[in-house]
Chain A
Amino acid sequence: MEGLERILMQHRFFAGLEAGYCELVCGCAKNVRFEAGQYLFHEGDPADQIYLLRHGRVALEMAAPGRNAVTFQTLGEGEIVGISWLIPPYHWSYDARALERIRAISLDAACLRNKCEADHDFGYDMMKRFVPVLVERLHATRMQILDVYGTPA
């Protein structure tokens, strides 16, 4: 698993992770690849993976009947795809599509949740990493909702 540990430690998201915790995380981790156009997951699927993108970009989108799917966020190298795994009922609320060939580390969400439950200090470290991502995305979403570039009424 040594190669995976090294890759994980180098990923921006886990910068400064202590060695013991790294082992814990690696226990839930594996390398994955997606081809361009492939879906990482669909709305409604169980949210059982978290993706740390190493290479390539992903589009988060939502579809509605009679309308083409609308992309509301793209994410790239160094970023995390997947936040719905944090709260029950652990289902994805949108689709994630690879815009190009993706190389990522996939973390098993159930595995990570169990380890957080077992070791609260480890859990807190994980939360300190994931919650800022949530907050940034919330702030960005608010700005997108304001439609600041829209034509004034």
Chain B
Amino acid sequence: MLLPMAPARDPMTPRVARVRKRRRDGPQVFTLDIELDTAEADDLAPFAPGQFNMLTAFGIGEVPISLSGDAARPGRLVHTIRGVGAVSTALVGLRPGDAVGLRGPFGVGWPMEEAVGKDVIVVAGGLGLAPLRPALYHLFTQRARFGEVTLLYGTRSPDDILFRHEIESWRRRLDVDIEVTVDHALADWHGHVGVVPWLIPHASFDPEESVALVCGPEVMMRFTIAALRDAGLGEDAIYLSMERNMKCAVGLCGHCQFGPVFVCRDGPVFRYDRVRDLLALKEL
């Protein structure tokens, strides 16, 4: 029988990489800057904003983590991780020089080309700002190709704000609007308190010529998308990043299925009109 070629590199075998830098970016949230040993780096594909890698803590396990760094600097593999389970806790405990396994990059990323010439509204909730950061870097680096750029970011409390210093430096740019809100705060917080969708009226965009990039907990994304639709955005102008249990990341283990799509391979970024009916179904 006629068989396809065997893959040049087995997609299930991790490359060995090393932690270069480790930095705390929030409560239980750490950003690891990882580099490959030179021999392993040759055929590594550059990543696109919105893609993810599978990181292995040797002896413990493997989890999908979105790339959160600048796609224009492919040698810098930056991942922002919250330590919640056994594997992620082990990963955030790694120190510079420690070994980590890496497979990837996988998945469909943010539609940066579709957004060219349009206003871009980036809406992030909680840790969702991490997979969106590469998109923001792209928007800032190629600023002239896009219309109005707005970042709306919501999280639990001021202590939970991710990349706080960086957001403040983005704020100093004169060509991007940034609004941050929290669910609750103490008196020393002078910013917004309230849910992310309420920030949308603050954003300046032409609903006919806009693209929205949304990432955060699923409940937050549903509310946000409803508000974006109320603001006049079409279903084909909204993109979201889905999350499901992943084991192989190459569409062969079946775990990440969401109706007919595999989140690892057909996503994690989906255009809203493709998944609208699926999102409405409980326990799909």
Contact = CB atoms under 8 A, between A and B. Distances in A.
Q: A and B: direct contact (Cβ < 8 Å)? A: yes
A73 B193 contact: yes
B126 interface: yes
A61 B187 contact: yes
B160 interface: yes
A97 B185 CA distance: 13
B198 A140 contact: yes
Nearest to B85: A152
Nearest to B202: A76
B187 A149 contact: no
Contact of B184 (A71, A76, A99, A139): A71
B177 to A, nearest CB: 15
Contact of B219 (A71, A143, A151, A152): A143
Nearest to B83: A151
Interface of A is mostly: mixed
A74 B125 contact: no
Interface in B195-243: 195, 197-198, 216-217, 219-220, 223
B251 interface: no
Interface in B99-134: 125-127
Contacts of A76: 192
Contacts of B68: none
B28 A74 contact: no
* Interface size of B as a range: 20 to 34
Contacts of B219: 143, 146, 148
B195 A151 contact: no
B193 A74 contact: yes
Nearest to A67: B186
Given A71-B193, A74-B193, A151 B186 contact: no
A59 B194 CA distance: 10
B195 A143 contact: yes
Interface string A89-115: 000000001011000000000000000
A127 interface: no
Looking at A71, A73, A74, A151, the one whose CB has the most chain B CB atoms below 10 A away is A71
Interface in A55-69: 57, 59-61, 68-69
B178 to A, nearest CB: 16
Cβ-closest 5 pairs across A and B: A149-B126, A148-B217, A149-B156, A140-B195, A74-B193
Given A60-B193, A71-B184, 6 more contacts: A59-B187, A76-B192, A100-B190, A140-B194, A147-B183, A149-B160
Interface of B: 27-28, 82, 84, 125-127, 154-156, 160, 181, 183-187, 189-195, 197-198, 216-217, 219-220, 223
23 contacts: A57-B192, A60-B193, A68-B187, A70-B185, A70-B186, A71-B187, A72-B184, A73-B193, A74-B191, A74-B193, A97-B187, A140-B194, A140-B197, A144-B194, A148-B125, A148-B126, A148-B216, A149-B156, A149-B217, A149-B220, A151-B28, A151-B82, A152-B84
